[in-house]
C-alpha cells in the first residue's frame, strides 16, 4: 500500500512523541526532527508507511540511545489489559451463545486493536472498551474462515500491539485444538509487541511465540528472517492483525490471508471499503 500524503504528518507526530518519551533534552528533539523532516521529503522511495515509519523510528533510537522508547507505555497497556481480561472472559462465556463464540472471539481480538500508541490514544482506550467491544464487524468473512479451518491443522497469527496481545489470548484459547504460532516484531518499534511483551501478557506456554525479525511497524517480508518467511508460506492459515500489517501485506500475492483490524484512518478505510473506526475481518485470497 502506497505512502499517502496524509501519512507524513502522522509519522512525524509519532517521531516527536517517541523523542519526548526517550529524552527530555530539547536539542536532541530538534536534531531528530531535522533529520526526520529531511527523510520525510524522500517518502516516495518507500514502499509503504510501515517501511517509512521504521526508518523514522531508527532516527529516534540512534539520537537518544534508547532502544525501546515506548517500554513504559507498553507495560501500562499490558497491565490494564490484564485487569480487564476477566471481564472479556465472562463476556465470551456468559453473554454469547456457543454458536457465536468464534465470531466474538475474533471480535474481542479485533477490539484489542484500539490499544495503539501510534494514534496517541494510550490513555483513553479503557473508557471506550465496552462500546467498542459490542460494535459488530463491518466486514466479516467468517464463513470463509470456518471453511478454511476445516482443512487446517496449524495457524499463524501475526500480532500487533502490546496489550492487544492480552485480548488475543481468548481467540487462541478458542482455537486451541490447532497448532498455533504467534509472531511478533524482531525489536521494539512504537508499541508493537515483542517476544518479551507476549510473555508479560500471560500466554499459554503451549503457544509457540516467534520473532519475525522485522523492525518496522508492519510486516515487510523482505525484512523478516528466512525462518519466519518459511513459516509464513507454509502455514495452513494466516491471520494478520492491525493496520500496519495490513498496509505492509495487502499487496502480497503469494498466499491467502485473513486481515483482522480496526480501520483507523480514511485512506485505509477507503481501501477496505469501510468507514473510519469500523472493524474488519477480511479474506484476501489468490
What mean pLDDT, rounded, does the chain reach? 94
pLDDT the model gives residue 127: 79
| Portions of the chain given CATH number 1.10.8 | 7-64
* Residue 271 predicted with pLDDT over 90: yes
| pTM of structure | 0.94
pLDDT the model gives residue 146: 97
Q: What average pLDDT does range 28-57 have in this prediction?
A: 96
* Residue 122 predicted with pLDDT over 80: no
Residue 95 or 272, more confident: 272
| Portions of the chain given CATH number 3.40.50.10880 | 71-284
Cα–Cα distance for residue pair 37/26, rounded to 1 Å: 16
3-state class (DSSP) for residue 142:
helix
Res. 124 pLDDT band, cuts 50 70 90:
low
- Highest mean predicted confidence (pLDDT) among 15-24, 115-124, 125-134: 15-24
Q: Does domain 7-64 have CATH number 1.10.8?
A: yes
Res. 125 pLDDT band, cuts 50 70 90:
confident
CATH superfamily for domain 71-284: Uncharacterised protein PF01937, DUF89, domain 3 (3.40.50.10880)
Q: What average pLDDT does range 203-222 have in this prediction?
A: 94
pLDDT the model gives residue 267: 94
pLDDT the model gives residue 119: 62
Q: What average pLDDT does range 251-255 have in this prediction?
A: 89
What 3 state SS string does 221-240 have? HHHCCHHHHHHHHHCCEEEE
Cα–Cα distance for residue pair 164/243, rounded to 1 Å: 13
Res. 259 pLDDT band, cuts 50 70 90:
very high
Give me the percent of the chain exceeding a pLDDT of 70. Answer: 97
Cα–Cα distance for residue pair 139/142, rounded to 1 Å: 9
Q: At what angle do helices 101-111 and 164-174 cross, to 10 degrees?
A: 160
pLDDT digits (tens, 9 = 90+) for 76-88: 999 999 999 999 9
Cα dihedral across residues 150, 155, 161, 162: positive or negative: positive
Res. 123 pLDDT band, cuts 50 70 90:
low
Amino acid at each position: 500500500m502506497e505512502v499517502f500524503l496524509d501519512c507524513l504528518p502522522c509519522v512525524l507526530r509519532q517521531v516527536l512523541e517517541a523523542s519526548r518519551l526517550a529524552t527530555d533534552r530539547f536539542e536532541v528533539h530538534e536534531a531528530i526532527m531535522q533529520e526526520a523532516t529531511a527523510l520525510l521529503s524522500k517518502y516516495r522511495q518507500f514502499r509503504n508507511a510501515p517501511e517509512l515509519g521504521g526508518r523514522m523510528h531508527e532516527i529516534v533510537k540512534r539520537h537518544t540511545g534508547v532502544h525501546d522508547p515506548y517500554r513504559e507505555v507498553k507495560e501500562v497497556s499490558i497491565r490494564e489489559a490484564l485487569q480487564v481480561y476477566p471481564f472479556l472472559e465472562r463476556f465470551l462465556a456468559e453473554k454469547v451463545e456457543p454458536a457465536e463464540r468464534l465470531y466474538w472471539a475474533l471480535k474481542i481480538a479485533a477490539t484489542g486493536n484500539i490499544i495503539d500508541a501510534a494514534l496517541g490514544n494510550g490513555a483513553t482506550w479503557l473508557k471506550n472498551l465496552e462500546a467498542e467491544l459490542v460494535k459488530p464487524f463491518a466486514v466479516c468473512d467468517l464463513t470463509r474462515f470456518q471453511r478454511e479451518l476445516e482443512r487446517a491443522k496449524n495457524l499463524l497469527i501475526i500480532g500487533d500491539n502490546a496489550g492487544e496481545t492480552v485480548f488475543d489470548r481468548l481467540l487462541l484459547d478458542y482455537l486451541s485444538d490447532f497448532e498455533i504460532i504467534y509472531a511478533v516484531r524482531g525489536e521494539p518499534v512504537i508499541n508493537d509487541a515483542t517476544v518479551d511483551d507476549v510473555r508479560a501478557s500471560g500466554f499459554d506456554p503451549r503457544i509457540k511465540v516467534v520473532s519475525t525479525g522485522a523492525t518496522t511497524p508492519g510486516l515487510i517480508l523482505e525484512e523478516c528472517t528466512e525462518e519466519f518467511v518459511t513459516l509464513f508460506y507454509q502455514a495452513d492459515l494466516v491471520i494478520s492483525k492491525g493496520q500496519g500489517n495490513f498496509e505492509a501485506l495487502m499487496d502480497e500475492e503469494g498466499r491467502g490471508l485473513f486481515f483482522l483490524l480496526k480501520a483507523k484512518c480514511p485512506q485505509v478505510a477507503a481501501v477496505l471499503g469501510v468507514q473510519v473506526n469500523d472493524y474488519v475481518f477480511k479474506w484476501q485470497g489468490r
